[in-house]
Amino acid sequence: MPLQPEGTRQYTESWKTGFYYLAVGAGVPILPVAMDYNTKEIRFMSLVYPTGDIEADLPKIYSQYKGVLPRHLERLSQPLQDINNAAE
């Protein structure tokens, strides 16, 4: 399964969704992984079983990144900024 990098190049307003559709097509779960710069941890989060309803499934994936900080905060995608700002 492909690795979807977050915050490595530039800010984006949304995630690319190819990883999601590959998982749906292959009938496999998505394993969100976070590299938290603040705690120096790699976190393997809960599996997400895609239903084919991306509008319902993506928020489940995004929510697992609450509190995870990248090295370059200004490059954090808008969906993850929204999740982290909702925590404040």
- Is 73 domain-assigned? yes
Confidence tier at 12 by pLDDT (50, 70, 90): confident
Confidence tier at 7 by pLDDT (50, 70, 90): very low
Q: Where are the alpha helices (DSSP H) in 1-88?
A: 18-26, 54-63, 78-86
Q: Please state, in angstroms and rounded to a whole number, the distance separating the CA atoms of residues 72 and 49.
A: 29
The pLDDT value given to residue 35: 87
Question: The domain containing residue 77 runs over which residues?
Answer: 27-86
- Is 79 domain-assigned? yes
- Contact at 8 Å (CB) between 79 and 15? yes
- Is 44 domain-assigned? yes
Confidence tier at 4 by pLDDT (50, 70, 90): low
pTM of the model: 0.81
Give the largest Cα separation in the chain, rounded. Answer: 37
At 81, the amino acid letter reads Q
Question: Domain count of the chain?
Answer: 1
